[in-house]
Amino acid sequence: MSSVESLVESIRREGEDRARKIINDARAEAERIIKEAEERAKRIAEERASIEIETIKRRLLDARKRQLMMDKIKIKDANFKRLREILVAKIMDVVKGRDKRWDYTKILYSLIKEAVVQIGENEVIISANRRDLDFIKSHIEEIEERLRSDIGGSIKLRVGDVVDIIGGVICRSVAGDKVHNATIDGRIEEVIRRLSVKIYRRLGMMSQNKFRSMIIELLRTVEGEVTVRDATGRELVIEAAEDIEVMVGEDIRIDVVCKEKSGRIMAVYTTLGMATMDKLDRFLASVGKLEKDWGVRVEKLVFIAFSGAQDDVARRMVDQGVYLIMREQLARLADKIGVELF
Amino acid sequence: MVIYLSIGVLIKLAMTEKEARERIEAAESEAKGIIERAREKAREILSEDNIEALKSQFVEKFKKELSASRELEEFEDEEMERLGLIDDRELREIAEALLEVILG
């Protein structure tokens, strides 16, 4: 190739190189522009989505919470309904003489006496169910005699209407201005209403927070030392508390951290549900974290499981030195401390 | 050093240079087009419609993730667990205690 041809070739190549570079630079710039736009669009969209997502999340969680609350109310109502059914069945056994521990005629008489006393007149009209009314009719003189002897004065009973009740009587004065309900049905409702808080507690129908508060109150009340056997038969000594804290967060769950007067630290996990391996793992990990973060040694680990524990969990607790307290032991502990828990 | 070039060679050189310039100009023009199209595409990407579509995709993705996640299940709290564990045996124990109160 001559020098002229080589010069021409060089000019051509240089031109091509420059042209190629211009195109390549432009392509790179185009790519950058598009990439930047995509990133910006993504940022803006994510920002807008996050506001919507937050709203959706809140709405879903609120709906879930509401649903859960409704479900809880339904289950509680169903439990109460079932309790009432069982109670009525037991009472029917008493009323019909199938439960030999009780003498219904004595109960019926005490209800009649209560009603007669409340009416406070010499002549009283008695209404009851067919069976009780027949009994009253056939023993009326005997009952009147006993009332006269128990209350004094001259008591005259008149048999009234048959009413649809489980047992007991409804008494009224002859003038009809005084009425007293001494029915078993009324008693059932009255007792269930009066004791509903206790029934709720005894069945563990309360929030986890309420349960934790109950345990904290129980531990605060300890004076000196209280000893109780845990569910595995080991002896647990609980001392009076100097300081009590709750450590419940995303990565930690110790419902009660109790610094006892002797300076020893007791960690307590409380659950209304069953003791499970998962819960135990979480408790042990939390205790490990507490010891590391605070630089302390937790000397007593207590797991309170209202609904009990499976055998393998209980065995593991023994291996890990964790005391297991279930409802029965909790009631015993409360008794020893002198607190009416259930 | 003196280089002697014939007119023919000079013309050839001039033409080659012209060709090269034209190629560069064509490349510049093409480059301008490439960037213009990229800007157009960027405008499209940043358009309200596209951002809204992207946002909807994110929201949908979140909804799917949320329904599969444990976040909602965590509300299956221990009170609920307890309520589900109450059985007739426990209710009978309480009924027995209530029987004493009612008839006692």
Instruction: Give the integer Cα–Cα distance in Å for A317 and A10.
Output: 87
Instruction: Give the integer Cα–Cα distance in Å for B30 and A257.
Output: 74
Q: How far, in Å, are A103, A112, A128, A182 from residue A98 at the CA level?
A: 10, 22, 20, 22
Contact A320, A301 (CB under 8 A): yes
Instruction: Give the integer Cα–Cα distance in Å for A286 and A247.
Output: 9
pTM, to two decimals: 0.74
CB-based contact (8 Å) between B85 and chain A?
yes
Size of interface A-B (CB pairs under 8 A): 204
Question: What pLDDT, on the 0 to 100 scale, is given for residue A64?
Answer: 83
CA angle A232, A221, A194 (to 5 degrees): 90
Q: Give the bridge partners for A238, in sequence order.
A: A226
CA angle B50, B51, B52 (to 5 degrees): 90
**In this complex, do B95 and A44 lie within 8 Å of one another by their Cβ atoms?**
no
Chain B: closest CA distance from residue A171 (Å): 19
Contact A48, A41 (CB under 8 A): no
**In this complex, do B92 and A86 lie within 8 Å of one another by their Cβ atoms?**
yes
What ipTM does the predicted assembly reach?
0.78
Q: Which residues of A are less than 8 Å from B14 in CB distance?
A: none
Encode pLDDT of A164-199 as tens digits: 999 999 999 999 999 999 999 999 999 999 999 999
Tell me which DSSP letter residue A249 carries: S
Encode pLDDT of A251-308 as tens digits: 899 999 999 999 999 999 999 999 999 999 999 999 999 999 989 999 999 999 999 9
Encode pLDDT of A24-55 as tens digits: 999 999 999 999 999 999 999 999 999 988 88
Tell me which DSSP letter residue B43 carries: H
